Structure 1
Amino acid sequence: MAPTLGAVAAAACVLWSTSTLARETAQSPDQSWSVTWLASAEPPRSPPTVLTDETVREVARVSLGGGRFRVRLTNAYGAKPAVVGSAHLARATAGASIVAGSDRSLTFGGRPGVTIPPYASVLSDPVDLPVPNLSDVAISLYFPGASGDATSHFFGLQDAYVAHGDVTGQTDLQPTRTLTERPFVSAIEVSTAKRAKVVLAFGDSITDGFGSTPNANRRWPDRLAERLVPRRGPTYFTVVDAAISGNRLLHDFIGPNGLSRFDRDVLSQPRVDYVVVLEGINDLGFPGARNLTEETVSADDVIFAYKQLIARAHAHDIKVIGATLPPFGPIPERPGFYSEASAQKRDAINAWIRTSHAFDAVIDFDAVLRDPARPTQLLAAYDSGDHLNPNDAGYQAMADAIDLKLFDR
């Protein structure tokens, strides 16, 4: 029987030191790669971001640290080749600055730059750089000509810095503009021993952290990483976020639908052991809010999508954890998103998640976030203000509600 998980306290653990991580990487006879940070790619939005004779520096907090990394760049939605003149990886400090002496040039097949073909992705060569768990790194990319419309992760909730010319190795970048999306960078991988496990969060804006404080890493997967990653062996973990704000399971609208992107964002990621699925609210709300009546779905339609994800994940030996859908209304600012009919569908979907035993386990986020007096609504203390997405406290409560023993199976 799939257990429903209640709130538990996070145990205090000591972070591995940089030297320990580097030694682990250097001495293990059986090295492999695990994804330690992820940003799900989306098509360009209007107006598209284009970089011309410019460097963009993006900051990302890796989950599991180590001593050797590689970076994945994406042109998944680019209709023309994207030419990267140079690329660097470094430890990040405040703002657009990096730790002096930590800068490393990235190469691609031994070359300092790379041309990413249309609709393709590329991996850099490995680079040695000691980075502790839960630390910020900076990826700096220089585009000598027009990059083309950037494939990006739109709601990065992290500033990216743009400056003129090739300043990829500059310690203190002087930006000319700031972006809040994540152009061209889709993943960071860390070299690990076989006992590393990857927990991947798959969902929409609630997993993407919409409503949380920018530049603060307060999404619920971030908070889960702060509890899970510091635990000492025999197994260690990385937690990554494969969410797209506004995403749906069954229809395209913001980003490709969940069924279509599952192979790219979950099954093709290295070493995924667990996927937590929290998606379906927008399938219920968008038809009414966006006048997309022809895309109205039933509870059974959403359940069908879950069954598809479960079957495909199990074929890759990935355990699937189902998360109940939190309350989402009424929302005065979004007429039509909430209705009595959509609330009944959510109740039916949540009942199936809790009782069907189709998932390998269940996390009851609905029970964590709802107002006991008004169960169709978020608890006011956890509401970011839009009555749909949690605030920092809500995301913390979600992470705290996850029993870490779940990942010992």
Structure 2
Amino acid sequence: MRRQPPAGAPTAPPRAFGAEPSSTPTERWVHTWASMPQLTEPANMPPAPFTRDGAVLADATLRQTVRVSVGGDRLRLRFSNAFGGAPLPLTAVTVAHPRGGRAGAGEIEPGTARAATFHGKTSAVVQPGAQVVSDPLPFPVGDSANLTVTVHLAQGQASTDITSHPGSRTTSHLLAGNHVAADALPGATPVDHWYFLSGVEVPSGPGTAAAVLLGDSLTDGRGSTTNGNDRWPDLLLARLRAHPATAGVALVNQAAGGNRVLRDGLGPNALARLDRDVLAHSGVAWLFVFEGVNDLGCAQATEAAQKQVADELVDGYDQIVVRAHAQGIRVYGATLLPFGGNDYDDPAGCREAARRSVNDWIRTSDRFDAVVDFDRAVRDPARPARLRASCDSGDHLHLNPTGYRALADAVPPELFATG
């Protein structure tokens, strides 16, 4: 296979924080963590009293933990107001190391909190539909380390249309008042969602490049352990860290539960969000596409309807490849998993026939730069239309940590070699 040169170049010498522009023409950055922004559903809004009178998080502190993939001596934060119905006023933002390095920790290591700035200011207003990138912040963070970001919103967001990533599989904490520098948040309300924070970047050095994972709940990690970081991308990251040729690869998880390739579901469809969630990201060298089961499951269970959606999926995958290749990005495809016994299953087997048809195309079309057979990795050999019992979360569609380990183990690390 031809090899995509890694993104990145030696970084410029460190500069005084907040005193100069956030980047220079010779400096490159790479996303080390991201979440797919989407409109927050009512059930996933901050609970009372943090949502009331048409406003969200008024005079409240929001503490969130994320896990970076590659580390660096500086970082930048991205906050999204992509779906906000009003400006998003960020009054104060800090970055810190979580207590004990734990995911979902409501406490930080004493003395580690550092204030972020935006063009030298300690606050920023993100307009509806926009995002904001912080100034570079001197803050060393290690590979695969957890990072705590705390935000205070003095006025809150004056709308109940807000941007979030509900499927965080990581606990965040809410507390009234301004506590951005507090070591602990006693009495805080835990919520398993991320709000507003959409990306973390580090300077890109030699051998550093990003792989974006485009997917649905199976990549977002439904069935994994909250605060356990055992989604299949997390487990794959550990494998990549173990090999010198792939140790500099950043994995960027751009998946969301309920997402579809062709039509909007939970969040914009993959074809619509490709520019925002893949092509606009920093330092992307590879795109891994593992999505389509919701397209089949949401279409009528008739032979004609399933043939149509299968044909459209093939066309959609082709468009993703074309658009990514135009940016010099290699594209890998993964086969769709079985769902026998789930609500997506139908007595006549129309959806299963469509799944097999799509998988046959993924395997044999030579359209992708490489194919990873996730279907083969977790299907029951005796009943190939079903998941292996040891991998099944219980709903016959999503995987448990054992199943996610099987997916991670099925990905050849050499697909992401940077040298």
TM-score using structure 2 length: 0.87
Task: Return the offset for 1:46.
Answer: 1.1
In the alignment, which of 28, 36, 39 is matched to residue 32 of structure 1?
28
Question: Is the 2:204–2:283 Cα contact (8 Å) retained in structure 1?
Answer: no
Return 5+ residue gaps in structure 1 as ranges.
3-22
- CA RMSD in angstroms, aligned pairs only: 2.4
Q: Which residue of 2 aligns with 1:377?
A: 386
Q: Structure 2: which amino acid aligns with 1:279?
A: E
Q: Structure 2: which amino acid aligns with 1:184?
A: F
Question: Is the 2:249–2:416 Cα contact (8 Å) retained in structure 1?
Answer: no
> What is the aligned residue count?
385
Summarize the alignment of residues 294-309 of structure 1 with structure 2, pairs less than 5 Å apart. 297-309=308-320
Q: Which residue of 2 aligns with 1:113?
A: 123
User: Could you say what secondary structure the match of 1:382 adopts?
Assistant: coil
User: Could you say what secondary structure the match of 2:110 adopts?
Assistant: coil
Structure 2 residue 232 is the aligned partner of structure 1 residue 220: yes
Task: Return the offset for 1:130.
Answer: 1.1
In the alignment, which of 112, 125, 129 is matched to residue 102 of structure 1?
112
Question: Is the 1:229–1:239 Cα contact (8 Å) retained in structure 2?
Answer: no
Q: Which residue of 1 aligns with 2:415?
A: 406
Structure 2 residue 37 is the aligned partner of structure 1 residue 46: no
Task: Return the offset for 1:286.
Answer: 1.6
In the alignment, which of 298, 303, 328 is matched to residue 286 of structure 1?
298
Q: Which residue of 1 aligns with 2:172?
A: 160
Q: Which residue of 2 aligns with 1:326?
A: 337
1:115/1:132 CA distance change after superposition, 3 Å: same
Task: Return the offset for 1:337.
Answer: 6.5
Question: Is the 1:161–1:177 Cα contact (8 Å) retained in structure 2?
Answer: yes
Q: Which residue of 2 aligns with 1:136?
A: 146
Q: Deviations over 1:133-168 (max 9, x none)?
A: 111000101110132333000111100000111101
Q: Which residue of 1 aligns with 2:193?
A: 181
Return 5+ residue gaps in structure 2 as ranges.
3-9, 15-23, 47-55
Task: Return the offset for 1:32.
Answer: 1.6
Task: Return the offset for 1:176.
Answer: 2.7
User: Could you say what secondary structure the match of 2:39 adopts?
Assistant: coil
Structure 2 residue 97 is the aligned partner of structure 1 residue 91: yes
Q: Structure 1: which amino acid aligns with 2:318?
A: K
Question: Is the 1:197–1:235 Cα contact (8 Å) retained in structure 2?
Answer: no
1:232/1:152 CA distance change after superposition, 3 Å: same
- Mapped partners of 2:219, 2:13: distance in 1: 34
Q: Which residue of 2 aligns with 1:192?
A: 204
1:337/1:26 CA distance change after superposition, 3 Å: farther
Structure 2 residue 254 is the aligned partner of structure 1 residue 242: yes
Q: Which residue of 2 aligns with 1:310?
A: 321
Q: Structure 1: which amino acid aligns with 2:309?
A: S
Q: Which residue of 1 aligns with 2:17?
A: none
In the alignment, which of 75, 80, 92 is matched to residue 74 of structure 1?
80
1:337/1:121 CA distance change after superposition, 3 Å: farther
Q: Deviations over 1:12-70 (max 9, x none)?
A: xxxxxxxxxxx99868x964200000100011211533211100000001000111000
Question: Is the 2:260–2:291 Cα contact (8 Å) retained in structure 1?
Answer: yes
1:365/1:352 CA distance change after superposition, 3 Å: same
User: Could you say what secondary structure the match of 2:390 adopts?
Assistant: helix
Question: Is the 1:106–1:112 Cα contact (8 Å) retained in structure 2?
Answer: yes
1:366/1:168 CA distance change after superposition, 3 Å: same
Task: Return the offset for 1:174.
Answer: 2.1
Task: Return the offset for 1:231.
Answer: 3.2
- Mapped partners of 1:141, 1:236: distance in 2: 29
Q: Which residue of 2 aligns with 1:201?
A: 213
Task: Return the offset for 1:327.
Answer: 0.6
Identical columns (%): 37
- Mapped partners of 1:325, 1:215: distance in 2: 26
Question: Is the 2:85–2:128 Cα contact (8 Å) retained in structure 1?
Answer: yes
Task: Return the offset for 1:132.
Answer: 1.0
Q: Which residue of 1 aligns with 2:18?
A: none
Q: Deviations over 1:304-334 (max 9, x none)?
A: 0000000000000000000000111221xx2
Q: Which residue of 1 aligns with 2:21?
A: none
1:382/1:295 CA distance change after superposition, 3 Å: closer
User: Could you say what secondary structure the match of 1:248 adopts?
Assistant: coil
Question: Is the 2:344–2:351 Cα contact (8 Å) retained in structure 1?
Answer: no
Q: Structure 1: which amino acid aligns with 2:317?
A: Y
- Mapped partners of 2:37, 2:307: distance in 1: 26
Question: Is the 1:133–1:230 Cα contact (8 Å) retained in structure 2?
Answer: no
User: Could you say what secondary structure the match of 2:250 adopts?
Assistant: strand
- Mapped partners of 2:146, 2:246: distance in 1: 25
Task: Return the offset for 1:226.
Answer: 0.9
Q: Which residue of 2 aligns with 1:256?
A: 268
Q: Deviations over 1:188-241 (max 9, x none)?
A: 001121421111111000010101111111111111111113433597211110
Q: Structure 2: which amino acid aligns with 1:316?
A: Q
